[in-house]
Chains A and B, each alone.
Chain A
Amino acid sequence: MSTDLEQFYEVFFEESSELLAEMEACLLGLDVNSPNIEDLNAIFRAAHSIKGGAGTFGFTDMTEMTHMLETLLDRLRKGELMVRSEMIDAFLRAGDVIKDQLAGHRGDGAADPIVVKEVCDDLQKFSEESSDAVIIDNRKDISSVVCLQAQEESSVAVETPLVEERLAGVMDEGPPPVLENVNQVVYQIEFSTTGLSNGSKDNLFFNLRQQGKVEVLTQSSGNEVCLLRLTTSMPEEDIWETLAFVVNPANLKIEKWTETEGFQDPSVYVSVAIDGAENLESIKEPKISSAKGPDNAQYGFFPGAPAAPPIENNDHPLSELTQSVNSTDQTNLVANSNLNAKAASSVETNSIRVSIGKVDQMINLVGELVITQAMLAQTTSEIDPVISEKLQGGMSQLERNTRDLQEAVMSIRMLPMSFVFSRYPRVVRDLAAKLNKKVELKTVGEGTELDKGLIEKIADPLTHLVRNSLDHGIELPEKRIAAGKLAKGTITLRAFQQGGSIVIEVGDDGAGLNREKILAKARERGLQVHDGMSDQEVWMLIFEPGFSTADRVTDVSGRGVGMDVVKRNIQSMGGRVEVNSVSGVGTRITIRLPLTLAILDGLSVTVGDQMFIVPLTYITESLQPSDNDIRTISGRGRVVQVRGEYLPVIALHEVFNIRPKSTEIKDGILVILDADGHKAAMLIDELVGQHQVVIKSLESNYRRVHGVSGATIMGDGKVALILDTTGLVMLTQ
């Protein structure tokens, strides 16, 4: 069976990663003073699901770790222990360890055994402490007691004293956790108890009780088979995982207690209805599962009604049981069907995993479709509208549909910014603690969507910026108070869409950049600076390679990438960085990124009979020069004066050896480019228009072409080259 399981590994890894992220988010959101029981439950559920999965796949290290987590969490959510911030720390560290372990199973890296040991010890310590100090009072929930009494009544009749004891245990453990999902299902569980110690059985019962209401239907001390009925809202695979953890899966059988069976036995039906009533009480918007008809739900208004014991049922499942025990084939079959059920349930979730390759292929195909549609539209527009009225109508509809389709397909690659932002609460928390600073992180616009490729690439630069803000921006609490600010600093992460680009801001209300210090450092490093530089220009100096002010180096900011790498990373994504800072008020770093990697906002320009695309991010302005703006330097190089600056002129027709309409600068148009702070004016014949173009590689079938960064296909199906603006500007330097 292990070979069968391997195909689910990837699903498990993905799921676990998501669960870990969810757990971390909950932990960070947890208020230590008044922990929300729902959050604790959510954390518990995440840990438990990971444990279940890890158990199924035999990753014992992960099961151990998650088990420790569970033990402690369970005590917390039952109120036996108080949540303390050290515990949250321990949980976070445990989450990291599980992450490492997960990576280990995936085949990259491994968890540090020393750290694992430390975290385990911590968790152990927390869960053991003051275990006797807290008085357990779980009988406060009346409805549950009623229900349990009913259960007791029902079970005692058939159970051996041993089980009675266990059931008493059920009551002591208190009510099962309140579950959000009302769609409760009754499962009939059969398993062989051979080779199980009483301790592990108790453990199993305990775990099952976490998931819902357990009724033990058969149990004689000598019997090797145990029959349970579980009323739960958990999916079948969760129960399966809980059990498979302890019981040999080959001897385990879980069946849904079907409606028809319920009808055969009215008493069971009543007990189901009572469950419904319980839910009605505990949940604001009760949804009665389809298995329970509206008539039956009415029973629920009498929660005290004793649930008759399902004794008659005993012989019926038992006969089934003997069958399954005798026939191993059958049990294997059941096990397989369970696996299938698991696979099926993951399909039922509201998202599917598709390889990026497939999505990209689809994007390409839709791109083609749009081009074909444009060509058709061009052709039909030449036909006399009198003849082709219907055709024209169809064409305009086709145009709308293709546009919608393109948008829909493009949106597949888009992910919300929360994918990146969600990691920063942790970063900020850890770092603030380390630096003894008080910092609050605000995130705005997590829903803003960005291309998946960019999301992955933006994370590292953004982390660096956040760390920088925390380390250099936010002052120590004492300093802040002295400056008349709140002791707690604020770092704001904001994302929003502006035109065709996504803007991400990292802002802090810290000390701001120090102009004099930066200028002094720049001079020290031999950079070309002068006092007349605008603030904007001074701030950009922090992106210079190796620019670091010595008195600021800490292990926090010394790590990772420098600001120049941040800038380079962002530029490689086709983005730009800006810095705004006011001394004493704060600093804001703004990143502008194109919506996707594959799409570029460009200005189409012509030189002679050729069309080129200039990436819009590099264009500051375009203008028609007059004769006296143009000067020559030593008779060859030409410069143009734009707003007091002399910019070198790049004549595109000279670079590309094209015959232009006119060689005179005054007849053409100058496009002012700004690449990495280097400016130049590019001479072209005409501006055509602004487009969003799909970037295609020229190198995949040809070679690198100087001055060209790629190609794209225009609406008429022709290829247009995209200019390598940076390369061209650098030519002039």
Chain B
Amino acid sequence: MSQQPATMTPAVNSVGEAALCQLNEFLTFRLGNEEYGIDILKVQEIRGYDNEAITQIANSPDFIKGVVNLRGIIVPIIDMRIKFRLGNAEYDQFTVVIILNVGGRVMGIVVDGVSDVISLDMDQVRPTPEFGSIIDTKYITGLGTINTRMLILVDIEKLMASEDMGLIDQSLN
């Protein structure tokens, strides 16, 4: 059922190996017109979006689509497009759910489509300029550049655990 991402071999670079341990392979996905990248190691699987299977949770924010049964585990589904108001939250054949495994928790994010898995060297990552972006810059680890593409690299673990998302009872942390 799970589509394994294309390549899993970590790109070991002789330069700055330690630093690259955290920054090597990224799963890229689209939200509206923007392209984002998240650490491939946080991704458990990618599934198609099936609105039928989702059970809504009452009184939850609109970006929380609800919960699904993922082989016996109850997994919340978050629509990132609604959360960050990027593009239209339309559900078509390209809409996918990326199942993340962050901090021992499993959750799914709805995105506009997964592009590919790419390796980035340190010199391809630019620091994030200070600007008022929708996603707080503290969750953005950098901007990756490949030819003309620009990837917004997100620390997905930090983001999902943040208070903004409200996914985790803060009292528990």
Q: Chain B residues with Cβ under 8 A from A700's Cβ?
A: 73-74, 105
- Give complex CA distance A721, B55 in Å: 8
For residue A610, CB closer than 8 A to chain B, the reply is yes
- Give complex CA distance A367, B74 in Å: 14
- Give complex CA distance A364, B73 in Å: 9
B71, closest chain A residue (CB)? A368
For residue A391, CB closer than 8 A to chain B, the reply is no
B-binding segment of A26-34, A254-262, A691-699:
A691-699
For residue A305, CB closer than 8 A to chain B, the reply is no
**Contact at A703–B168, with CB atoms within 8 Å?**
yes
Please tell me which one of the listed residues A657, A703, A717 contacts residue B167 in the complex, with CB atoms under 8 A apart: A703
Q: Chain A residues with Cβ under 8 A from B169's Cβ?
A: 699, 703-704
**Contact at B53–A717, with CB atoms within 8 Å?**
yes
**Shortest Cβ gap from B76 to chain A (Å):** 4
For residue B107, CB closer than 8 A to chain A, the reply is yes
B-binding segment of A536-544, A678-686, A707-715:
A707-715
**Contact at A706–B59, with CB atoms within 8 Å?**
yes
Q: Chain B residues with Cβ under 8 A from A367's Cβ?
A: 72
* Also in contact, A702 and B76, with CB within 8 A (given A658-B58, A720-B55, A721-B57): yes
For residue B67, CB closer than 8 A to chain A, the reply is yes
For residue A719, CB closer than 8 A to chain B, the reply is yes
For residue B156, CB closer than 8 A to chain A, the reply is no
For residue B56, CB closer than 8 A to chain A, the reply is yes
For chain A, which range describes its interface: under 10, 10 to 19, 20 to 34, or 35 or more residues?
A: 20 to 34
**Shortest Cβ gap from A372 to chain B (Å):** 10
**Contact at B58–A719, with CB atoms within 8 Å?**
no
Q: Chain A residues with Cβ under 8 A from B105's Cβ?
A: 700-701
Please tell me which one of the listed residues A696, A699, A706, A707 contacts residue B72 in the complex, with CB atoms under 8 A apart: A696
B169, closest chain A residue (CB)? A703
For residue B125, CB closer than 8 A to chain A, the reply is no
* Also in contact, A702 and B67, with CB within 8 A (given A367-B72, A717-B53, A719-B74): yes
For residue A718, CB closer than 8 A to chain B, the reply is yes
Q: Chain B residues with Cβ under 8 A from A719's Cβ?
A: 55, 66-69, 74
Within A334-380, which residues are at the interface with B (CB < 8 Å)? 364-365, 367-368, 371
**Contact at B53–A718, with CB atoms within 8 Å?**
yes
**Contact at B76–A701, with CB atoms within 8 Å?**
yes
- Give complex CA distance A37, B112 in Å: 80
Q: Chain A residues with Cβ under 8 A from B5's Cβ?
A: none
**Shortest Cβ gap from B145 to chain A (Å):** 34
For residue A655, CB closer than 8 A to chain B, the reply is yes
**Shortest Cβ gap from A597 to chain B (Å):** 17
- Give complex CA distance A251, B28 in Å: 70
**Shortest Cβ gap from A411 to chain B (Å):** 20
**Shortest Cβ gap from A470 to chain B (Å):** 43
**Contact at B58–A656, with CB atoms within 8 Å?**
yes
- Give complex CA distance A703, B107 in Å: 12
For residue A705, CB closer than 8 A to chain B, the reply is yes
- Give complex CA distance A655, B72 in Å: 27
In the complex, which of the residues A697, A700, A708 has the most CB atoms of chain B within 10 Å of its own CB atom?
A700
**Contact at B58–A655, with CB atoms within 8 Å?**
yes
Q: A-facing mask of B45-86, CB < 8 A → 1, else 0?
A: 000000011011111100000111101111110000000000
- Give complex CA distance A658, B66 in Å: 14
A706, closest chain B residue (CB)? B59
In the complex, which of the residues A657, A697, A708, A713 has the most CB atoms of chain B within 10 Å of its own CB atom?
A713
* Also in contact, A717 and B72, with CB within 8 A (given A655-B58, A658-B58): no
- Give complex CA distance A39, B69 in Å: 55
**Contact at A705–B60, with CB atoms within 8 Å?**
yes
**Shortest Cβ gap from A102 to chain B (Å):** 36
**Contact at B72–A698, with CB atoms within 8 Å?**
no
**Contact at B74–A702, with CB atoms within 8 Å?**
yes
- Give complex CA distance A390, B52 in Å: 30
- Give complex CA distance A719, B55 in Å: 6
For residue B118, CB closer than 8 A to chain A, the reply is no
For residue B11, CB closer than 8 A to chain A, the reply is no
B53, closest chain A residue (CB)? A718
**Shortest Cβ gap from B68 to chain A (Å):** 6
Q: B-facing mask of A115-157, CB < 8 A → 1, else 0?
A: 0000000000000000000000000000000000000000000
B60, closest chain A residue (CB)? A705
**Contact at A705–B59, with CB atoms within 8 Å?**
yes
* Also in contact, A698 and B71, with CB within 8 A (given A610-B55, A703-B168, A705-B58): no
**Shortest Cβ gap from B128 to chain A (Å):** 29
Q: Chain B residues with Cβ under 8 A from A711's Cβ?
A: 55, 67, 74
**Contact at A717–B69, with CB atoms within 8 Å?**
yes
**Shortest Cβ gap from A162 to chain B (Å):** 71
- Give complex CA distance A610, B60 in Å: 15
A712, closest chain B residue (CB)? B74
- Give complex CA distance A706, B74 in Å: 17
In the complex, which of the residues B57, B68, B71 has the most CB atoms of chain A within 10 Å of its own CB atom?
B57
Please tell me which one of the listed residues A364, A701, A707, A718 contacts residue B55 in the complex, with CB atoms under 8 A apart: A718
Q: Chain B residues with Cβ under 8 A from A697's Cβ?
A: 74
For residue B120, CB closer than 8 A to chain A, the reply is no
Q: Chain A residues with Cβ under 8 A from B67's Cβ?
A: 698, 702, 711, 719
The 3 closest A-B pairs by CB, nearest first: A656-B58, A719-B55, A702-B76
The 6 sampled A-B contact pairs (Cβ below 8 Å) are A364-B72, A368-B72, A700-B74, A703-B168, A705-B59, A707-B59
List the interface of chain B (C-beta within 8 A of A): 52-53, 55-60, 66-69, 71-76, 105-107, 166-169
